Homo-oligomer: A and B are copies of this chain.
């Protein structure tokens, strides 16, 4: 993986003004064929014409880029749970973890998948309440009911 080291980090003037990920972002035109193949599949699967920063940052590690995309593609596809429900669960976890990037990107993804303002509002209410009651349960050291174990 040391072959990555010569990777230029966009020595353009704006790099001193704008910080864009630890290792910088790899744009399509500078990407290797291996990385481009993943970018192409992302755009085809999502029916879109651009790649968001997450993947461009991961592209410095093509193995992780490919594995992560394959996993996301497999996991987020509609199954017994539909795609919108999965996007909302993803967003709920990101909010609970307070990951700024993920909240922004998955709010957009969930909306694209059909989440209305009303659904967003209800989702946040559930996430908030779950976080509250999680602490009440552990704060009072509540033992698990026998019935929940059978």
- Residues on A lying within 8 angstroms of B by beta carbon are 1-2, 4-5, 7, 15-16, 18-23, 50, 52-54, 57-58, 60-61, 63-64, 67-68, 71-72, 74-76, 79-81, 85-86, 88-90, 92-108, 116-145, 147-150
Q: Name the residue of chain B whose CB is nearest to the CB of A150.
A: B16
Q: Name the residue of chain B whose CB is nearest to the CB of A5.
A: B117
Is there an interface contact between B81 and A143, defined as CB atoms closer than 8 Å?
A: no
Interface on chain A toward B: helix, strand, loop, or mixed SS? helix
What are 10 contact pairs spanning A and B, CB under 8 A?
Answer: A23-B120, A75-B125, A75-B129, A79-B118, A80-B116, A97-B98, A97-B131, A101-B143, A105-B144, A127-B135
CB distance from A95 to the nearest CB of B (A): 4
Interchain CA distance A131-B75 in the complex, whole Å:
13
